[in-house]
Structure 1
Amino acid sequence: MTVRSVQIRELPASDIERALALAYLVFHESPGDERRRHHRETLVDCPRIGAYDGEDLVGFAAAHPFSVSVPGGGELPCPGLTFVSVAPTHRRRGVFAGMMDELFARCAREGAPLVALWASESSIYGRFGFGPGAYGTSVRIDSRQPLALRATPDPRPLRLVDPDSAPALLGPYFERTRARRAGRQARTEAWWRKELLVEKDEGDDALSPPRVVALGDPLAGYAVYRTKPGDEDTRTPGLVQVDEVEADGPGEAAALWSYLSAIDLTGTVRAWGRPVDDVLLLIAADRDQVRVTESFPSLWVRLVDVRAALAARSWAAPVDLVLAVRDERVPANAGRFRLIASPDGFSYAPTGDDPDLSFDARDLATAYMGATPVRSLVRAGLVGEHKPDAASMLDAALYTDLLPHTLDEF
């Protein structure tokens, strides 16, 4: 594919160093040797797209070969877009659009109905059909006093687990439980070791290596966290930074949060990327003690093949509606389609009938995972409702018990 003077093509392994240099330039980064080595190793196993102006590399994008849970416990291939970079000399010349079009074409050829990313600039990706497929929250707990909870902590014993052996214990549990929520990617052992259980957080050298605490045998929940000592001079209490908490139910969650909030010589628990509907927020007896400090879009999703994506998810109630879909980047998705779905069947076929709902591709992606109700999109003027209660009918069909969520940033 050629965009004016720029050619879009496969980036060979021999150009990975050039691609990383471009990415570090664009994102103003200077990672250490260990992190650079990890980036190189990661990119060897990723499909890669390069944009070349003559011999100069002026654009780069890669895609992790992920699969992701979709509503109802299904699973779909979902490349995870990463390292998207355009040289400052070639901005606004169609380089980014050319790489996105090439990515979507590859997904169509290879049978990947979804693409996902974490947006560095959300204003860009919406124009290419990406919508927030999941949201996250940051939570802060004042742990200078015992954590007040309305749920009784599970009495089973807690034990500390060596991070080196943690993937063998936590990995199978995570795989069994991640289907409860849409948006969670399958983890390899390398992902556990090189992303979640890394020895050092480059953002804060004072944080400890990762600690892992497990509840029960068989495993009923776990937490991954780090600690940071307090500062007597500034009267800053010690910190517990929570990277992940997974639990079977409220009692198990209560046991883990009680443990994290009672670690000696600490006075604050901070957790980033928690689910919007985290049970902690419901069982906290004192919401002045447990505060949500931030809410943000996390995983952005793009439906490359709308029909295949809809066919792979579950349907909580029968629905029969005509959807008008606008999609400038993937013309095969655009048009009017009759959606007939129920817990027992699915059909999505072109039709000439008048639409009941009109969607832009980005808003259909947001509704697909269940992050935002269609009714809310209608109220915001983003989705057109042409039949009374059509949005409510589709929301009933799209319903899932838990909101989508992912922690794995890439």
Structure 2
Amino acid sequence: MVDIRDVPEAHIDRALELAYLAFHDRPEKEGRERHHTLLRHCARLGAYDGDALVGFMAAHDFRLSVPGADLPCPGLTFVCVAPTHRRRGVLTALMGEQLRRTADAGSPIAALWASESAIYGRFGYGAATQGTTIEIDSSRPLALRIDPDPRPLRLVDPQDALAVIGPYHEAARAVRSGRPTRDADRWSESWLSEQDDTDEELGPPRVIVLGNRGERIAGYVLYRTKHENDGGPARSPGLVRVDELEADTPAVAAALWNCMAALDLTGKVSAWGRPQDDPLLQFAADRDQVRVTSQFPALWLRLVDVRAALTRRSWAAPVEVVLEVADVRLPANAGRFRLKAGPGGATYERAAAAADLELDVRDLAACYLGGTRIAELVAAGLAAERTPGAAAALDAALLTPLLPHTADEF
């Protein structure tokens, strides 16, 4: 039987060794120092077998943008179990304690990125956003169906980048759901770090903004570059990796994408984790030049307090349905509830009436931000529609102007 308790700062190195063992990783000194700093700022929970740390998880103190609101949302990271203690209930014990603490803290939701998609559904997490990887063949000019914004582009000094793009990013969080907060440490240690943890050959971050000097910027792109060697004596055209691109309008986005595709000595632009409804996929004139190379579940969400989560978000249309929700981990969420919601707010109370829809809490979480339709779950046999039209009515109420999305992997 393991003991679940807080991990003191003195045990952070032990926690990192366990994580590196579980994830088959061995970062260099600089990467390890960044991880150590990150964990100092996280809540840390461990599973101890005697004095040995055999399970670990940490949680960022985030807020997450949801439709019409910004909610406290711990972001789980470094979730790992020693190979000697797998299949002995260690992860279940850690996740159970984490859910209890989240509920006690008054956070209605929790989130994570899953290293293995098969793991977290059984703890009530659903894939609430999807990521898309886009590649541009930039060996030729980018063909566009719209005219790029003609205002000037300018390169921002990395030391000034946070002051310039930080406020823009914070404002953008309210426009598209699913985005966690970024404090100054997260900006500097991740997005604007000189060294990229995933590819040591990538250069430092560069930031280009669009807009006239003295005015609010209309968009920005954060990117890194590297040369690619084809194995021969000459180097092949390099790579531009777009880490983030935000824009007020499609024309601004077109100008920024055009800039990335026109960088000298490069032949490919790769943008990981773009939203599924990225306007580039519509205004690109040649879809052989602009291709989607992968799609994947991104942010996984857990509704820790279903009532609070549903009543604190906004709703696009009126709906009244009785939901029968299954939740084996948090029984307070389980049962039959009447959801009455609309642009003026929502109520969610226990009901005796027959259910209009039956679904698991993980599937309700997947739909919560507007990224998955209830009707899709019904069609897949994952939810049961007992009253015809109930799924369509709830989907209309959950609808958001933009699909939820985040590239903030943690």
Matched, 1:80 2:78: no
Output the TM-score relative to the length of structure 2.
Answer: 0.97
Question: Helix, strand or coil: the match of 1:268?
Answer: strand
**Cα shift readout 1:78-115 (whole Å, capped 9, x = no counterpart):** 10000111111111111100011100100111011111
Over 3 Å counting, the alpha-carbon distance change for 1:330 and 1:239 in structure 2 is: same
The structure 1 residue matched to 2:210, chosen from 206, 210, 215, is 215
Q: Give the equivalent residue in structure 2 for 1:25.
A: 21
**Cα shift readout 1:47-83 (whole Å, capped 9, x = no counterpart):** 11111111111111110000010013x1000100001
The structure 2 residue matched to 1:228, chosen from 226, 229, 244, is 226
Query: In structure 1, what is the Cα distance between the partners aligned to 2:79 and 2:114?
Result: 10
Q: Which amino acid aligns with 1:85?
A: C
Q: Which amino acid aligns with 1:9?
A: R
Question: Helix, strand or coil: the match of 2:282?
Answer: helix
Query: What is the correspondence of 1:118-267 to structure 2 with a 5 Å cutoff?
Result: 118-216=113-211, 217-231=215-229, 233=232, 236-267=236-267
Matched, 1:53 2:58: no
Query: In structure 2, what is the Cα distance between the partners aligned to 1:133 and 1:164?
Result: 34
Q: Which amino acid aligns with 2:193?
A: V
Q: Which amino acid aligns with 2:386?
A: H
Output the TM-score relative to the length of structure 1.
Answer: 0.97
- Alpha-carbon deviation of 1:235? 6.5
- Alpha-carbon deviation of 1:227? 1.3
Q: Which amino acid aligns with 1:226?
A: R
Query: In structure 2, what is the Cα distance between the partners aligned to 1:163 and 1:379?
Result: 49
The structure 2 residue matched to 1:113, chosen from 104, 108, 121, is 108
Q: What percentage of residue pairs aligned between the two structures are identical?
A: 60
Q: Is the 8 A contact 1:370 1:404 kept in 2?
A: yes
Q: Give the equivalent residue in structure 2 for 1:396.
A: 396
Question: Helix, strand or coil: the match of 1:340?
Answer: strand
Q: Give the equivalent residue in structure 1 for 2:62.
A: 66
- Alpha-carbon deviation of 1:40? 1.2
- Alpha-carbon deviation of 1:42? 1.3
The structure 2 residue matched to 1:9, chosen from 5, 17, 30, is 5
Q: Is the 8 A contact 1:68 1:186 kept in 2?
A: yes
Q: Give the equivalent residue in structure 2 for 1:338.
A: 338
Q: Give the equivalent residue in structure 1 for 2:303.
A: 303
**Cα shift readout 1:279-316 (whole Å, capped 9, x = no counterpart):** 10011011111000000001000100001111111101
Matched, 1:99 2:97: no
Query: In structure 2, what is the Cα distance between the partners aligned to 1:257 and 1:285?
Result: 13
Q: Is the 8 A contact 1:64 1:82 kept in 2?
A: yes
Matched, 1:320 2:330: no
**Cα shift readout 1:122-153 (whole Å, capped 9, x = no counterpart):** 10101110000100100000111111111210
**Cα shift readout 1:216-238 (whole Å, capped 9, x = no counterpart):** 03200000111112447377321
Q: Give the equivalent residue in structure 1 for 2:269.
A: 269
Query: In structure 1, what is the Cα distance between the partners aligned to 2:81 and 2:372?
Result: 31
Q: Is the 8 A contact 1:147 1:258 kept in 2?
A: yes
Q: Is the 8 A contact 1:230 1:265 kept in 2?
A: no
Q: Which amino acid aligns with 1:171?
A: G
Structure 2, gaps ≥5 residues long: none
Q: Is the 8 A contact 1:222 1:245 kept in 2?
A: yes
Q: Give the equivalent residue in structure 1 for 2:382.
A: 382
Q: Is the 8 A contact 2:59 2:74 kept in 1?
A: yes
Q: Give the equivalent residue in structure 2 for 1:370.
A: 370
Q: Is the 8 A contact 2:64 2:181 kept in 1?
A: yes
Query: In structure 2, what is the Cα distance between the partners aligned to 1:102 and 1:48?
Result: 12
Q: Which amino acid aligns with 1:145?
A: R
Structure 1, gaps ≥5 residues long: none
Query: In structure 2, what is the Cα distance between the partners aligned to 1:362 and 1:66?
Result: 21
Q: Which amino acid aligns with 2:220?
A: Y
Aligned length: 405
Q: Which amino acid aligns with 1:8?
A: I
Over 3 Å counting, the alpha-carbon distance change for 1:25 and 1:185 in structure 2 is: same
Query: In structure 1, what is the Cα distance between the partners aligned to 2:240 and 2:182?
Result: 24
> Runs in 1 of length 4+ with deviation above 4 angstroms?
none
